[in-house]
Amino acid sequence: MRTIEWKNGTVIIVDQTKLPKDTVWLQITDYKAMASAIKEMKLRGAPLIGVAAAYGLALAAFHSKAEKREDLMKELETTAETLRKTRPTAVNLFWAIDRVMKKAQETAGAKEDLAEAVVAEAQRMADEDVEVNRQMGKHGAALIEDGDVVLTHCNAGSLATVDYGTALGVIRAAVEEGKNVKVIACETRPRLQGARLTCYELMRDNIPVTLISDTMVGYVMSKGLVDKVVVGADRIVWDAVLNKIGTYNVAVLAFEHGIPFYVAAPTSTMDQSRTSDDAVIEERNPTEVTNIGSERIAPEGVKVLNPAFDITPLEYVDAVITEEGILVPEVRLKPKNGQQKKRD
């Protein structure tokens, strides 16, 4: 099912903060509501955020009262600036906004022609996302063997994209090829995307899944219960992968146990002009850590650190799976204390 759709000037999204208990569809009719939905994580996942931002621009264009092309362009620039401020880490957000704005700037004609072009570009990007994910899944499925148990972190499935998914798309493609694949899903504190969303998706698709807490990763790996790790990404810079907080822990533990660690992400997530030193890590509300839902679990007044993402050096990544194929980083870990890299 598509997690986001355009219907004659309204964008329909599933409110992911309500899952898995309730499936609530929201109707968004202006760009400010779209910006709020992105910021409040009613929709999330780098590819989906990108398409949502494109649709935010489409909403502004579709409902604009501007009479001249120049006035509509100014409105689009204001909309773009608002959307850029919602989530600083996911590069797809900025990629999508830049792509739609470029299309707008290149479109000749009256205000109506410009609005039509912006809406069409956003819809094109949504359709492309589904095809990109399926191509990515097809490439990644070659890395999954029959009988594998795959560990994943956070949610990189259809709910993080328009449809099909990145990391879960790889798993889905392997299952569609007839391979027997089981999944271990980390809960993903503090927002619990693994527990709430990944388990929801896999159970819906009848793919066997076992939920573990984030602190159990080393244990299950030490017991030989994990064959591969596949995660998504919010931004891939020249030397590292930025993904949901906890990914770095999983990567280091996979390295120590000789388990292949794969990242599945579209090329729109690539940001090769920057390095990890340039990374902007989103810091979110402390209540995400001090509370579970509306229930406070920590003492009042305690200091909280709540980065939404962490940085995994590419040295820990065996391959990056994209729609264009499988990329193998050229970097390799240097021996530590005389020990060679265990996967070599």
List the catalytic residues.
234
- Distance in angstroms (rounded) separating the CA atoms of residues 233 and 210: 22
Cα four-point dihedral sign 241, 247, 249, 255: negative
| CA-wise closest residue to 264 among 99, 152, 146, 100 | 152
Q: Amino acid identity of 131?
A: E
- Distance in angstroms (rounded) separating the CA atoms of residues 194 and 286: 20
Cross-strand pairs, 5: 12
Chain-centroid distance of CA 102 in Å reads: 23
B/e letters for 289-326, b = 16+ CB within 10 Å, e = fewer, are bbeeeeeeeeeeeeeeebebbbbbbbebbbbbbbbeeb
Cross-strand pairs, 117: none
The helix (run of H) or strand (run of E) holding residue 186 is strand 182-186
Tokens of 160: 């993080």
Tokens of 88: 């600083």
- Distance in angstroms (rounded) separating the CA atoms of residues 315 and 305: 26
- Distance in angstroms (rounded) separating the CA atoms of residues 25 and 46: 20
CA angle in degrees (0–180, nearest 5) for 234-276-244: 30
